Amino acid sequence: MSLTRQDVAKVGMLARLALTEADLERMTGELSKIVNFVSQLSELDTAAVEPLAHPLESRNVFREDVPAPSLSTEQALANAPRQDGSCFLVPAVLGESGAA
């Protein structure tokens, strides 16, 4: 399967790329080679290949979630640049009312 300049121009437009005539010429050849290479994969017999979610064997590496003592409010707020004794104070990002 080979791509046309119109195919590449459409992909460029969808990707919001400003492709010059030189870019279109170069990309048409390069993308055609890539599409041809990928189409070769359909020739492989994968009937006996089990689908994978990840190419490497993985296992759960997280520690057990065990409750433990945490910082007190005073300790958590100790180095905060602004706080009111019970909460961190941060600049408003949505305006005064908090409405979007």
What is the SS3 string spanning the chain?
A: CCCCHHHHHHHHHHCCCCCCHHHHHHHHHHHHHHHHHHHHHHHCCCCCCCCCCCCCCCCCCCCCCCCCCCCCHHHHHCCCCCECCCCECCCCCCCCCCCC
At residue 71, does pLDDT exceed 80? yes
Predicted local confidence at residue 82, as pLDDT: 95
At 19-61, the pLDDT tens digits run 999 999 999 999 999 999 999 988 889 889 888 888 888 777 7
The domain defined by 5-43 folds into Histone, subunit A (1.10.20)
At residue 79, does pLDDT exceed 90? yes
